[in-house]
Amino acid sequence: MNTKVWKVDKYVDNLENNPQVVDAAHFLQENEVVALPTETVYGLGGNAKSDVAVEKIFAAKGRPSDNPLIIHIADKHQLSAFVAEVPKNAERLMERFWPGPLTIIFKKRDGVLSEKATAGLESVAVRMPDHPVALALLKKCQLPIAAPSANSSGKPSPTNAQHVLDDLNGKIAGVLDGGSTGVGVESTVLDCTEEIPVILRPGGVTKEQLENVIGEVHLDAALIDEASKPKAPGMKYQHYAPNAPLYLVNGSTSFLQGLIEEKQNAGLRVGVLATEESVEDYQADVSVACGRRDELESVATKLYETLRAFNQEKVDVIFSETFSNTGVGHAIMNRLQKAAGNKMINE
């Protein structure tokens, strides 16, 4: 399949009638799949009502079929077609965080969405992305769009159109290239079917921000204790992994430098994921500053791009600094732990 690339300037007016967006919307209506920029990462969109379209999403990504997709909408009025009940606290969260990086899980109304999109569950995950191109496309096609991240399953999520093509060129109808994404890590997934909502996946909206709006919020047990079974089916899979083994290092820069030298002495090409504050402290073969430690949002923005960069550099092993588990640091550490398959070295 020839994958089209539609370049589109997210700042122009009347995006809904931009010829690139109109063309992409047409493909969605024909049950083809197209990648689109959102404020978190690039998504791979398809008509959520169509088994055919949803099957194409799973096939292109190589995604396990038990892992349900997030449904994207442009207007809250779309919810009532496939959501059975909108609780009060969800209402307040939508008011505050939509459009934005918050996915809310609701009880599902049967018979509208493809069962494959929700992996047969009785609940459905929904969000409204905060990106002008995504919103224009959703409005134009007039469909609820199922969209997981537009990467091959298991790889780091794409934060620009080239990342999408690196993984999916020839496997999808097209990609709307709206430039680099901003937040860099995926949405927070919040289960609002429980009396006290539960974070199933940390992301762009922090626990602290949620609690400021609705009071107490719980964390899924699997986010606290590795041995627990995660409630979000996707959280049990290894994800975000670069090609080389990745180790997270809890310790000083000199301790981490010692690990680098040990591997170099064994003849390996070593990468280090550091921050702008510390990158000069290391003599690795490939040293990458992934944002600023005193501004964790910048680390989130660059995280997947950095993990992908190590693949280009063909390193044999990667060591990464660790981050505090607060604010967006929670999402960063969650993704790094998954990327590392939980390999952690303590000083």
Residues that bind ligand AMP (CB under 6 A): 67-70, 105, 118, 121, 123-125, 148-149, 186, 189, 200-201, 231-235
Q: Whole-angstrom Cα distance, residue 265 to residue 272?
A: 16
| Partner in contact with 125, chosen from Mg ion, ligand AMP, none, beta carbon below 5 to 8 Å by kind | ligand AMP
Min. distance of Cβ 212 from ligand AMP in angstroms?
A: 23
Min. distance of Cβ 14 from Mg ion in angstroms?
A: 31
Distances (CA, A) of 102 to 7, 205, 256: 27, 6, 35
Task: Using the minimum distance from each CB to Mg ion, give the nearer residue, 132 or 148.
Answer: 148
210 contact partners, CB below 8 Å, separation of at least 6: 93, 102, 188, 190, 197, 199, 217
Task: Yes or no: say if 346 and 199 are a contact pair by the CB < 8 Å rule.
Answer: no
Task: Using the minimum distance from each CB to ligand AMP, give the nearer residue, 149 or 301.
Answer: 149
| Partner in contact with 126, chosen from Mg ion, ligand AMP, none, beta carbon below 5 to 8 Å by kind | none
Min. distance of Cβ 67 from Mg ion in angstroms?
A: 9
Quote the DSSP letter at residue 235: G
Q: Please list, residue by residue across 237-257, b when 16 or more beta carbons sit within 10 angstroms of its beta carbon and e when fewer do.
A: eebbbbebebbbbeeebeebb
| Partner in contact with 330, chosen from ligand AMP, Mg ion, none, beta carbon below 5 to 8 Å by kind | none
Cis peptide before 99 (omega within 30 of 0): yes
Task: Using the minimum distance from each CB to ligand AMP, give the nearer residue, 249 or 300.
Answer: 300
Min. distance of Cβ 41 from Mg ion in angstroms?
A: 8
Task: Using the minimum distance from each CB to Mg ion, give the nearer residue, 100 or 284.
Answer: 100
Min. distance of Cβ 157 from Mg ion in angstroms?
A: 5
| Partner in contact with 207, chosen from Mg ion, ligand AMP, none, beta carbon below 5 to 8 Å by kind | none
Task: Using the minimum distance from each CB to Mg ion, give the nearer residue, 38 or 149.
Answer: 149
* 218-219/70-72 β-pairing: unpaired
